[in-house]
Amino acid sequence: MKKIVFLTGAGMSAESGISTFRDSGGLWERYPVMQVASHTGWLEDPDLVTRFYNERRRELFGTQPCGGHRLVAELEEKYDVTVVTQNVDDLHERAGSSRVIHLHGELRKVCSSDDVENPKYWQVLGPDNYEVKPGTKAGDGSLLRPYIVFFEEAVPMIAPAAEEVGKADVFVIIGTSLNVYPAAGLINYVQSGVPIYLIDPKEVRVPYGLNVTHIQAGATEGMKQLINTI
């Protein structure tokens, strides 16, 4: 069975109404990035960071997967599909994708601030309990923090993601500027001769020398075109 690996970014979930960070009018224009999304920001004002991600979860639970998410999931009927996502939402999973690697963490999870990767202290939040009260403690007594990979922190899932990309028969990028590292570097793990498709309505600068087919459309329309191509 042919293996398709997707790399998805903010443009994938924008069609669902999830606020983007870097685009005009995005979250970084309303919030200082290093205050709410960095390790230093967390240490300096954990209450602010906690409230910020409470807002993000509230937004998430008011949205649904877009057509693009659903079309990616439907490909599992014919292909071996892995989704590598820079997004922290769970829209791929809700659409039906069964193999999703989250590079930047998961918005629905909170964890120990002293032992982030210990599942013993993970909690999965839902629509009825998405709000974390500032100062809430994890099971080990440390502050409960978002299970998000902050700026200044390592990306623990980058190695498994690179391994999956290296096995791809087709590599598809949707809704990411290829400016955020280390995720943007995953394109360099695609084997020689493997077709690469980029779905994005805007012009995206791709690394020099790579043969990339640009489908200049949004996630849903781009996926429709892709399905007729592969």
Question: Would you say 176 and 8 are in contact if contact means Cβ atoms under 8 Å apart?
Answer: yes
Q: How far apart are CA 166 and CA 195, in angstroms?
A: 12
d(C-alpha 31, C-alpha 173), whole Å: 27
Side by side, the strands of the sheet bearing 170-174 are: 100-102, 80-85, 3-8, 170-174, 196-199, 212-215
| DSSP character at residue 133 | P
Catalytic residue among 69, 92, 102, 104: 104
Residue at 227: amino acid letter: I
Amino acid at 123: Q
Query: Half-sphere exposure of residue 200, counting CA atoms within 13 Å on the CB side?
Result: 22
For residue 166, which phi and psi values (nearest 5 degrees)?
-65, -15
Q: How far is 104 from 207, CA to CA, in rounded Å?
A: 22
Report residue 176: phi and psi, to 5°.
-135, 145
Active site residue 104: yes
Rounded CA-CA distance 48/216 in Å is: 38
Residue 14: CA count within 13 A, CB half-sphere: 21
**Residues noted as catalytic:** 104
